[in-house]
Amino acid sequence: MLKAVIVDDEKPAIDILKIFLEKTGQVAVINTFQNPKKALNEIEKLKPDVVFLDVEMCGMSGIEVASNISLMDHNSEIVFVTAYDRYALQAFKVNALAYLLKPVLEKDINKTVKRLMKVCGELPMKQEVKLQARIQCFGEFEVYSNLSGQPLKWRTSKSKELMAYFFENRGIPISKWKLCEVLWPEGNQDKIDINLHTTIYKMKKTLRNSNIDVDVKFVNKAYVMNMKGVYSDLDEFDSLVEDKIVISDSNINKYEKAFSLYTNNYFEEDDYYWSIDLKEVYLQKFIRISKNLADFYIEKHNYDRAIIVIKKGMKISPLEEDLHETLLYIYVLTNDRISFLNHYDSLLELFTEELGIEPRNTLKGMYKKMVSNCG
């Protein structure tokens, strides 16, 4: 008999799910919670085999609850039950066993319980995967060996790029033609097959020499890479950041952590043309976090912290006008005329002399108001 906990802020959803689960005769619902924070405190004591989680809840998201559960000594399986399909990728990044959409159907519960019985039956005490490597994606792409703690030295730049591309597409089948197009877009077609096989060999040998177990299989004319025991700053960032970034007292710690993880843009130091789209996606997330964090600190009158956040944001994205406007606004709030005028002058030089455009009207208005106050 599996021990289960249900966490959902809607009581009717809990009642229906409980009925379906107990009807299987293989699951005992030992507790239910409408408050996710209270659930977290109790789950560590209850040590359930499985936790059924809603995603969007007041106070704390299901993704955040699952991330915290993964840090506990007792490993519980996670099953998400939600009305939204847009969180599926985040859900599986926190190792969810299943992702069910509301309204939940009895047949889906029966299927999920069969999977749970198989997993929990084969692994009564789920073994913790030993960390083999750490992967850095923000800034320069690096793979660090857990043995030495040092970044791997790749035999060729192409073997490193291949690893980066595999990591970006981990778990996704990639045809050999796509790999060749990515690595040798203008290469000699006669040698491409040989180059690919040689590069895969060199990549795998570099990883194997550092005791990093990366499974690369060729199935149905496509390569698939799967990784176990690997930490990455990108995965942690994704686990912390929700689609809709709203920062509050209840989640400020996780957004501060995400902000600190973003040391530079995705693969910033690597000239990988294929990473441009994802680089822009993460940059826009970082900008929103920077702006929202600063707004949060301004509301708390913690202006020093807000300035630190904004200046880091501008260092990474110097042309983002929203960040400049927020910084100038802080100087207005703190009546720091000298800092305001100095920054506005540097902003004016950046925009007019280097880009040939003028700052937006709201910035000009702030400048005129500050100058008139000086007079």
- Which pLDDT does position 73 carry in this prediction? 64
Q: What is the pLDDT of residues 55-64, one digit of tens each?
A: 888 888 888 8
Name the pLDDT band for 206 (thresholds 50, 70, 90): very high
- Which pLDDT does position 130 carry in this prediction? 63
Average pLDDT over residues 326-352: 92
- Which pLDDT does position 233 carry in this prediction? 92
50 and 146 housed in the same domain: no
More confident residue, 5 or 117: 5
14 and 92 housed in the same domain: yes
CATH, residue 21: 3.40.50.2300
107 and 189 housed in the same domain: no
143 and 79 housed in the same domain: no
Q: What is the mean pLDDT of the chain?
A: 87
**Measured torsion, CA atoms of residues 251, 256, 258, 261, in degrees rounded to the nearest 10:** -160
Q: Is residue 263 part of a domain?
A: no
Q: Is residue 236 part of a domain?
A: no
10 and 111 housed in the same domain: yes
Identify whether the C-beta of residue 60 lies closer than 8 Å to the C-beta of residue 37. Answer: yes
141 and 85 housed in the same domain: no
Residue 185: phi, psi to the nearest 5? -60, -25
Given a cut of 90, whether residue 189 has pLDDT beyond it is no
- Which pLDDT does position 363 carry in this prediction? 85
- Which pLDDT does position 124 carry in this prediction? 41
18 and 112 housed in the same domain: yes
Q: Is residue 244 part of a domain?
A: no
More confident residue, 229 or 184: 184
Question: What is the pTM assigned to this prediction?
Answer: 0.64
Q: What is the C-alpha separation between 285 and 275, in angstroms, rounded?
A: 16
12 and 114 housed in the same domain: yes
Give the whole-number percent of the chain exceeding pLDDT 90: 47
Domain extent at residue 185: 133-231
- Which pLDDT does position 127 carry in this prediction? 44
* Total structural domains within the chain: 3
More confident residue, 20 or 73: 20
Domain's final residue, options 231, 260, 288: 231
Given a cut of 90, whether residue 333 has pLDDT beyond it is yes
Q: Is residue 6 part of a domain?
A: yes
11 and 104 housed in the same domain: yes
Residue found under tokens 């778990």: 171
Q: Is residue 259 part of a domain?
A: no
- Which pLDDT does position 128 carry in this prediction? 45
Domain's final residue, options 211, 231, 251: 231
Q: What is the C-alpha separation between 142 and 151, in angstroms, rounded?
A: 6
142 and 87 housed in the same domain: no
Given a cut of 90, whether residue 66 has pLDDT beyond it is no
44 and 138 housed in the same domain: no
CATH, residue 191: 1.10.10.10
What string of H, E and C letters represents the secondary structure of the chain? CEEEEEECCCHHHHHHHHHHHHHCCCEEEEEEECCHHHHHHHHHHHCCCEEEECCCCCCCCHHHHHHHHCCCCCCCEEEEEECCCCCHHHHHHCCCCEEEECCCCHHHHHHHHHHHHHHHHHCCCCCCCCCCEEEECECCCEEEECCCCCECCCCCHHHHHHHHHHHHCCCCCEEHHHHHHHHCCCCCHHHHHHHHHHHHHHHHHHHHHCCCCEEEEEECCEEEEEECCEEEHHHHHHHHCCCCCCCCCCCHHHHHHHHHHCCCCECCCCCCHHHHHHHHHHHHHHHHHHHHHHHHHHHCCCHHHHHHHHHHHHHHCCCCHHHHHHHHHHHHHCCCHHHHHHHHHHHHHHHHHHCCCCCCHHHHHHHHHHHHHHC
Average pLDDT over residues 144-166: 90
More confident residue, 66 or 313: 313
Q: Is residue 243 part of a domain?
A: no
Cis peptide upstream of residue 36 (ω within 30 degrees of 0):
no
Across 181-190, 228-237, 265-274, 291-300, least confident range: 181-190
48 and 109 housed in the same domain: yes
Domain's final residue, options 68, 92, 122: 122
Q: What is the pLDDT of residues 157-166, one digit of tens each?
A: 999 999 999 9
Q: Is residue 296 part of a domain?
A: no
Q: What is the pLDDT of residues 80-134, one digit of tens each?
A: 898 876 766 676 666 778 888 888 888 889 888 988 887 776 444 444 446 788 9
Q: Is residue 285 part of a domain?
A: no
Name the pLDDT band for 339 (thresholds 50, 70, 90): very high
